[in-house]
Chain A
Amino acid sequence: MGDPMKIRAKLEGDIADVRVLMAHPMETGQRKDAAGKVIPAHFIKEIRAELNGKVVWTADISQAVSRNPVFAFKVKGAKGGDKLRITWEDNTGDKRTDEITLGS
């Protein structure tokens, strides 16, 4: 399990402006270490956002995204007290889920 992510959401009317910061090395698999050995690829493949259990946003990403990535998106139909849960899964099968309550 990865390190915690930082989720921030600002409510403007019924639109939640979400910004999520994830801790991940995002290795491309093309770099070599000091000994000349290839550093194996290690990157997030999928990110999923759920509002009260319903999937509202997904992203399929790859090695092209940099280390410790940041994503921002807007969710319509949100209100204070809603639970926003974000999950990522990487190519090694590692997963991380964090949740916040909107308007808190």
Chain B
Amino acid sequence: MKHALVLCAALGLAAGLAGQPVSAQSEDRTAAEFDKFREVLEEANPAELWEVKGEALWKTKRGPKNASLEQCDLGLGPGVVKGAYVQLPRYFEDTGKVMDVEQRIVHCMVTLQGFKFEDLAKAPFSRGDYTPDPVSLVTYVAGQSREMKIAAPQSHPQERATYEIGKQIFFYRAGPWDFACATCHSEDGKRIRTQNLPNFTKPGESAARGYIGWPGYRMTGGVMHTLQWRMNDCFRQQRFPEPGYASDTIAALLTYMAVNANGQTYRGPGIKR
């Protein structure tokens, strides 16, 4: 009985402390400091190095077919790179499905340059000094949409259907932890350690916050990452089976995210802690 009372008192004290406005205030201040830090870094974002590298890869004749990617159609016609990124994912006639930027670039590398998908999917994520070519290419293409408004299309029935599939995946709870994307990303004001978690269910500025920072340079390790990696890592963190590289599952999820971010300005490849 006595123990129970002590426990109750301790719980009451803890609850009282957690509810104090002071902690909320200092959290805001921490977030503001992080924003300032990011602003300074954006002026000299090493992601630009990958843009330069990606541009060279785009224009160089490579692969078994010795072709450049200058005939690659990212949705605005063969070879049009300017503004293509903010209008992806979109439906492509030739493949009959909705594709995101990395999936499309990989498709071009396979069809135009003759690379094998299996080879590209073997080690698709950056690590140490190694950057897969599609990552540099995505960074270049994304950089060509700087200061443009995100406008992922929803005019084709496939695009609307893919959005709905993406939404279902977003809310799908499964795995040993009974987790979903929505567990962390469907409420305002949540965070993990110092990272603020964007709410992807609220169209506009809120959903865009998580979408526009990619592809991004990660200071931890000094590597460049794309949304393909970010999505894969989210699946891993949820203890889900990891999706295949450049899979339709991820294209659907990215369609959901991109459409919810529509109307917001894309500021170019980002920088991460």
A-side residues, CB < 8 A to B, are 3-6, 19, 21-23, 25, 67-68, 70, 72
The CA-CA distance from A23 to B222 in the complex, in Å, is 11
Decide if A4 touches B53 in the complex (CB within 8 Å).
yes
Neighbouring A residues of B43 by C-beta, 8 Å? 19
Measured CB to CB, the closest approach of chain B to A44, in angstroms, equals 14
Instruction: Please indicate which of the listed interface residues B46, B51, B53, B129 has the most CB atoms of chain A within 10 Å of its own CB.
Output: B46
How many chain B residues sit at the interface, stated as a range, is 10 to 19
Instruction: Please indicate which of the listed interface residues A3, A19, A22, A72 has the most CB atoms of chain B within 10 Å of its own CB.
Output: A3
Contact of A3 with B222 at beta-carbon distance under 8 Å, contacts A19-B44, A70-B44 already known: no
Neighbouring A residues of B49 by C-beta, 8 Å? 3-6, 21-23, 68
B-side residues, CB < 8 A to A, are 43-44, 46, 48-49, 51-53, 56, 129, 222
The CA-CA distance from A19 to B40 in the complex, in Å, is 14
Choose one: B48, B56, B129, B222; the contact of A21 (CB below 8 Å).
B48
Given contacts A4-B56, A23-B49, A68-B49, 14 further A-B contacts (CB under 8 A): A3-B52, A4-B49, A4-B52, A4-B53, A6-B48, A6-B51, A19-B44, A21-B44, A21-B48, A21-B49, A23-B46, A68-B222, A70-B44, A70-B46
Contact of A21 with B46 at beta-carbon distance under 8 Å, contacts A67-B222, A68-B222 already known: yes
Neighbouring B residues of A6 by C-beta, 8 Å? 48-49, 51-52
Residue of A nearest to B43 (CB): A19
Decide if B44 touches A3 in the complex (CB within 8 Å).
no
The CA-CA distance from A23 to B131 in the complex, in Å, is 13
Measured CB to CB, the closest approach of chain A to B140, in angstroms, equals 12
Neighbouring A residues of B48 by C-beta, 8 Å? 6, 21
Decide if B56 touches A68 in the complex (CB within 8 Å).
no
Neighbouring A residues of B44 by C-beta, 8 Å? 19, 21, 70, 72
Contact of A3 with B129 at beta-carbon distance under 8 Å, contacts A21-B48, A67-B222, A68-B222 already known: no
Neighbouring A residues of B56 by C-beta, 8 Å? 4
Measured CB to CB, the closest approach of chain A to B136, in angstroms, equals 10
CB-based closest 4 A-B pairs: A68-B46, A70-B44, A67-B222, A23-B49
The CA-CA distance from A23 to B43 in the complex, in Å, is 16
Measured CB to CB, the closest approach of chain A to B137, in angstroms, equals 15
Measured CB to CB, the closest approach of chain B to A29, in angstroms, equals 15
